Amino acid sequence: MKIERPRGTRDFLPDEMEKRRAIEKVMRRIAESYGYREVLTPTFEHLELFTIKSGEGIIEEIYAFKDKGGRDLALRPELTAPVIRMFVNECTGMPKPLRFYYFANCFRYERPQKGRYREFWQFGVELIGSASPLADAEVISLAYRIMDELKIEFDLHIGHVGLLRHLLRDLDENVASKIMRLIDKKDIEGLESYLDETKVDSDLRDSIFSLVELVGSRDIIESAREIIPNFDFSHIEKVCDILDALDVEYKLDFGIARGLDYYTGVVFEAYAREGLGAQNQICGGGSYRLAHLFGGDDTPATGFALGFDRIAEICKVEVVRKKKVVVVSFKGLEGEAFKIASMLRNRAVVVTDVMERNVKKQLSYANDINADLAVIVGERELRDGKVAVKDLKSGEQKTVSMEELLDVI
């Protein structure tokens, strides 16, 4: 009986893995150029890490289970909470700000669909210890540079959840949270219905809808000031100043709410322009405070996560491959073939025969795997310290010395 892979998971064959590693390499290189260093947290955590802020309702959306000791655990659905838990446990004495990045798989129990899987990968960063607009600008520019260098066509939207929270400050906390979630989902019909149900004042209703519809250049800050005249816009203005100086292309969007309650200030999202349909968000992040919930000090942080799988689906990154060589040997010369292969592996990808096939079949296999060259090890050539080299693309063949072989490869 054939055993299928679990629903919502995927197998990645070599061509796809080479592409994914090439994308990952770009992300790592850019993050490290900003001074970020890689961290890794456990694949599973105590369930409380994820319910402490999101509530028990999140259990329906994640892989939660009891271990043999009866402890409530969960496969990580995201990486911000685990990284901040690690910070509280092990890093509070380090000089701030801390710059961490991560690349790892996450798990959510949801209906699989295009661009959404039960096992998925995230690449992200966390800048911990600064509440300055400079920190927000750095993180946003880092995300922008990664997507730009990967040649993705995308739109970057930047908002500030403080505006909505300021508008909703006099409402019951649960009511305000529900309104924020409906705005995050862009569920305007549901929002209207809920505002009716909770009898929200008409002036407040008008302000909410006016604010979430504000999308455009930084000029919309003046419109937002008219809606919330007693809000301090200097933070978002400073972020815009820096991004403008870096030629980062963005739109201000005061309807961004983000789905998690721990965001406190600047938030941002990026959407792919084509190739992903409705599930086109490829990046999300912002400034937040979580450390105090996990037993640490109230520490500001800013971060983002890139949806690696969605990016891999639309990214046209060039995969740089080394030259592929097959060392072909006549019977009895396998040891010499292995020695020559070892000598060449610091210059190329080198394959030797392990099926004990004849020379003709070895050459046929070399063509099947799209090798560039075949190095043919024959008894007569070896006596003279030479080998034959065949260009499998042109068919040209020549005999070279061992010294010349290194130059040919």
Rg (CA), the chain: 28
Provide the pLDDT for residue 67: 96
Provide the pLDDT for residue 73: 97
Provide the pLDDT for residue 198: 84
User: Cα(113)–Cα(115) distance, rounded to whole angstroms?
Assistant: 6
DSSP for 117-164, please give it. -SEEEEEEEEEES--SHHHHHHHHHHHHHHHHHTT--EEEEEEEHHHH
Whether 190 and 330 map to the same domain: the answer is: no
Q: Is the pLDDT of residue 114 over 80?
A: no
Number of domains forming the structure of the chain = 2
Cβ atoms of 19 and 317 closer than 8 Å: yes
User: Cα(251)–Cα(233) distance, rounded to whole angstroms?
Assistant: 16
Whether 219 and 354 map to the same domain: the answer is: no
Whether 112 and 212 map to the same domain: the answer is: yes
Q: Mean pLDDT across the chain, nearest whole number?
A: 93
Provide the pLDDT for residue 400: 95
Q: Is the pLDDT of residue 205 over 90?
A: no
Q: Is the dihedral of CA 29, 30, 34, 36 positive or negative?
A: negative
Q: CATH number of the domain that 120 lies in?
A: 3.30.930.10
Q: Is the dihedral of CA 7, 12, 16, 19 positive or negative?
A: positive
Whether 385 and 269 map to the same domain: the answer is: no
Q: Is the pLDDT of residue 261 over 80?
A: no
In the chain, how long is the greatest CA-to-CA distance? 95
Whether 144 and 76 map to the same domain: the answer is: yes
From 283, 314, 345, give the residue that closes a domain: 314
Tell whether pTM > 0.85. yes
Whether 269 and 390 map to the same domain: the answer is: no
Residue 296, in any domain of the structure: yes
From 314, 347, 374, give the residue that closes a domain: 314
Looking at residue 27, its amino acid is M
Q: Percentage of residues in the chain with pLDDT exceeding 90?
A: 76
pLDDT in tens, 304-333: 999 999 999 999 888 888 999 999 999 999
Task: Compute the average pLDDT of residues 369-378.
Answer: 96
Q: Is the pLDDT of residue 112 over 70?
A: no
Whether 285 and 381 map to the same domain: the answer is: no
Q: Which residue has the tokens 């730009």?
A: 148
Provide the pLDDT for residue 115: 61
pLDDT in tens, 359-373: 999 999 999 999 999
Q: Is the pLDDT of residue 259 over 80?
A: no
Provide the pLDDT for residue 309: 94
Band (287; pLDDT cuts 50, 70, 90): very high
Across 4-13, 229-238, 271-280, 281-290, least confident range: 271-280
User: Cα(56)–Cα(155) distance, rounded to whole angstroms?
Assistant: 34
DSSP state of 372: S
Q: Is the pLDDT of residue 269 over 90?
A: yes
How many other C-beta atoms are found inside a 10 Å radius of the C-beta of residue 290?
Answer: 27
Whether 277 and 377 map to the same domain: the answer is: no
